[in-house]
Amino acid sequence: MNFAYSPKVQELRERVQAFMDAHVYPAEKVFYQQVAEGDRWQPTAIVEELKAKAKAEGLWNLFLPESELGAGLTNTEYAPLAEIMGSSGLGPEAFNCSAPDTGNMEVLVRYGNDQQKKQWLEPLLRGEIRSAFGMTEPGVASSDATNMQARAVREGDEWVINGRKWWTSGACDPRCKVMIFMGLTNPDGPRHQQHSMILVPMDAPGLKVLRPLPVFGYDDAPHGHAEVLLENVRVPYENVLLGEGRGFEIAQGRLGPGRIHHCMRSVGVAERALKLMCQRSVDRTAFGKPLARLGANFDHIAECRIEINMARLLTLNAAYMMDTVGNKIAASEIAQIKVVAPNVALKVIDRAIQIHGGAGVSEDFPLAHWWAMQRTLRLADGPDEVHRASIAKHELGKYISREMLRSR
């Protein structure tokens, strides 16, 4: 439980925050204008400018932990930076630290062969292309990931892939060049060894991006969340990562750092929502008093502060455990933050919306959009329910074996 910010981290925090203040926050309005004006599904100039600036300042690929390719930060060190970046929807991409690219790059670093690294990892690290991750499917309850039905069948030196994925975030963006597809390859294997991860170029014949899925009313263009159809898509056999039937093994490793990133971003967005809430509550007056002083608003502000602080400490502690005792021992803690962070962010943002009145649900403030994004995080990468069950089993494991719990 030592997650005090080291001098190195403190310096990076200041630089990242200064970059946010100087470049990212002011770019938000411009971004929405550029999306609204042209073809919403083309990348915006403003984001490319932000990326160039961040790269020039050396604030680039900070997420990558175990590699000379990144900044060499531990999870504990990167977490406070993810919080700051996450305080704007534009932040993560500006620093080339946005999902799903970060997780995909980590997978490529560990499991890609030289040719795959050259083809996909290097342009991803340079921020020239983007990538997608294809796991969730429309036809089954994806809360149980073993439900995945999309098939990859080996034919000679190739995989032949058929199936339908959705919530494939980023696949609508023309810069997206490759998808890590996860599907059923070994249906006769043990429950968690039936699925594999396979690299699929987005321009492979038979791969069709059917539509962007809106989240509440937001299409999140030009990134977007795609429904993707794969019909007889053929890719080389060596595109399978790590090995057949090892999809869940990769997924576990891939998700660990990603959970920290996501959760710290949720903390960051909650922190900024609280700031907006406080500012509005002192700037507007009703019944002769600033809103802050009316009714339960002190309580609401206090609760937000408390919940954000707790969510941050819990997440930092999970990062610290990942760094010190490893993902496996930290499994319960990682599941805990996955439940806590989005729910805290939702509560804080909802209260901020309420203080803002009609403005809160409109586009004049980012609150409603943030709320919608955070709401999806109670579903993405496993719904709250699945994570709580896993925390409970871990807890009960102190008193009874998993087998006995299951059999009784």
Residues 148-177 that bind a copy of itself (CB under 8 A): 166-167
Interface residue with a copy of itself among 109, 140, 160, 255 (CB under 8 A) is: 140
Residue 13 near a copy of itself by CB under 8 A: no
Residue 41 near a copy of itself by CB under 8 A: no
CB of 326 to a copy of itself, least distance (A): 17
Residue 48 near a copy of itself by CB under 8 A: no
Instruction: From 93-101, 152-160, 196-204, 285-293, give the range in contact with a copy of itself by CB under 8 A.
Output: 285-293
Nearer to a copy of itself, 63 or 167 (CB): 167
Nearer to a copy of itself, 88 or 281 (CB): 281
Residue 329 near a copy of itself by CB under 8 A: no
Say how far apart CA 407 and CA 208 lie, in whole Å. 44
Residue 325 near a copy of itself by CB under 8 A: no
CB of 317 to a copy of itself, least distance (A): 6
Residue 77 near a copy of itself by CB under 8 A: no
Residue 259 near a copy of itself by CB under 8 A: no
Residue 216 near a copy of itself by CB under 8 A: yes
Q: Which of residues 338-357 bind a copy of itself (CB under 8 A)?
A: 339-340, 353-354, 357
Nearer to a copy of itself, 69 or 213 (CB): 213
Residue 7 near a copy of itself by CB under 8 A: no
Contacts of 320 (CB under 8 A, 6+ apart): 1, 2, 3, 75, 76
Q: At 103, phi and psi to the nearest 5?
A: -65, -40
C-alpha pair distances (Å), 353 with each of 34, 87, 400: 25, 16, 45
In eight-state DSSP terms, residue 4 is: P
Interface residue with a copy of itself among 219, 238, 242, 365 (CB under 8 A) is: 219
Interface residue with a copy of itself among 85, 333, 348, 381 (CB under 8 A) is: 333
Instruction: From 8-16, 111-119, 120-128, 371-379, give the range in contact with a copy of itself by CB under 8 A.
Output: 371-379
In eight-state DSSP terms, residue 237 is: G
Nearer to a copy of itself, 128 or 298 (CB): 298
Compute the Cα dihedral for 110, 327, 384, 102 and give only its sign.
negative
CA 221 to chain centroid, in Å, comes to 16
Interface residue with a copy of itself among 20, 97, 182, 311 (CB under 8 A) is: 311
Say how far apart CA 31 and CA 17 lie, in whole Å. 19
Say how far apart CA 288 and CA 116 lie, in whole Å. 65
In eight-state DSSP terms, residue 24 is: I
Residue 221 near a copy of itself by CB under 8 A: no
Interface residue with a copy of itself among 46, 81, 316, 330 (CB under 8 A) is: 316
Instruction: Report which of 11, 24, 16 is spatially closest to residue 84, judged by C-alpha positions.
Output: 16
Residue 207 near a copy of itself by CB under 8 A: no
CB of 285 to a copy of itself, least distance (A): 6
CB of 260 to a copy of itself, least distance (A): 15
Residue 360 near a copy of itself by CB under 8 A: yes
CB-based burial label for 151 (10 Å; 0-12, 13-18, 19+) = middle
Interface residue with a copy of itself among 156, 157, 188, 398 (CB under 8 A) is: 398
Nearer to a copy of itself, 114 or 408 (CB): 408
Residue 237 near a copy of itself by CB under 8 A: no
C-alpha pair distances (Å), 102 with each of 6, 70, 96, 125, 131: 23, 11, 8, 9, 9
DSSP per-residue string spanning 86-97: TTSTTHHHHTT-
Q: SS3 of 80, please?
A: helix
For residues 267-277, b (16+ Cβ closer than 10 Å) or e, as one string?
bbbbbbbbebb
Say how far apart CA 182 and CA 303 lie, in whole Å. 40
Residue 213 near a copy of itself by CB under 8 A: yes
Q: SS3 of 373, please?
A: helix
